[in-house]
Structure 1
Amino acid sequence: MNLLAVQTRTTPAGPVVELTGELDYDSCAQVRELLPALALQAGQQLVVDLTGVTFCDSSGITALLAARNHALAARADIALAAVPAHLGRIFHMVGLDQVFSTHPTAQAAEAAWSPPAARP
């Protein structure tokens, strides 16, 4: 068993959540409990960095969808970064590649974000 480690950091674009380990039934609650504590503003982007995720089951997918719903409720965007190939295949099979924008790194996701236009 490879426990899930969760690190968060804040960037001008919004929060970045870095996951390492197994995102599964036993660990998905950890991600879901973190979401309300994230300082996510309208127009920002939540980045979920999957670089270190070694396994993801349906509960993990549900946690990612909960993160998406959290971002949408805050009127923010969400992006996945560094999706490992083994997860990319699963995400493609279940259609998540149509739901999430993906980037090769968290830094690339941050660079692709653009702040909302200033309102007059």
Structure 2
Amino acid sequence: MHRGEDVEARVGVAELTVTVTPGTPPQVTLSGEVDLATAPDFERAVNSLFSQGTASLAVDLSGVSYLDSTGVSVLMRAVKQCRDRGGDLSIVGVSDRALRVMKLLSLDRMVRLYPQGP
């Protein structure tokens, strides 16, 4: 670990893929890391759906390897927007670690959470 390029390669830049699948409700599937650098991509996708009249939304976190407080904040704002429109938000593919955080924030009382399968 004495070579700068080794450290630089490990640190890298977080990547996130956001896929929107039309449906009732539409589903936003995330793959990668949701953090300060990538959460705006997630929020743009969600806001785009709301601007099209979406009231309810499903978010798939099964491909998420890291979720920080910025990502959780996007989820919480999405919950509020769904409720304001008379809809609701469901989160599928929730890892054990993310589930613990969401329970600490009482997010499990505001949305339907579906844990990852075995």
Q: Which bracket does the TM-score occupy, shorter chain normalised?
A: 0.7 to 0.9
Number of the residue aligned with 2:45 = 34
**Are 1:20 and 2:37 counterparts?**
no
Indicate whether 1:83 and 2:94 are aligned: yes
Q: How many residues align?
A: 102
CA displacement at 1:104 relative to structure 2: 4.4
Question: Which runs of 5 or more residues in structure 2 are unaligned?
Answer: 1-12
| TM-score between both structures, scaled by the size of structure 1 | 0.75
* Alignment check: 8 A CA contact 1:40 1:71 kept: no
Identity %: 26
* Contact kept? 1:82, 1:104, Cα under 8 Å: yes
CA distance in 2, matches of 1:36, 1:22: 19
| Residue identity in the other structure for 1:19 | L
Letter aligned with residue 80 of structure 2:
N
Structure 1 unaligned runs (5+)? 106-120
Residues 82-101 of structure 1: pairs in structure 2 closer than 5 A: 82-101=93-112
| CA distance, structure 1, for counterparts of residue 78 and residue 106 of structure 2 | 16
Contact 2:18 2:45 in 1 (8 A): no
Decide which of 6, 17, 39 is 1:5's aligned counterpart: 17
- TM-score w.r.t. structure 2 length? 0.76
When the two chains are superposed, the root-mean-square deviation of aligned CA atoms in Å is 1.8
SS at match of 1:14: coil
From the CA coordinates, give the structure whose radius of gyration is larger: 2
- In the aligned structure 2, how far is the partner of 1:91 from the partner of 1:41? 23
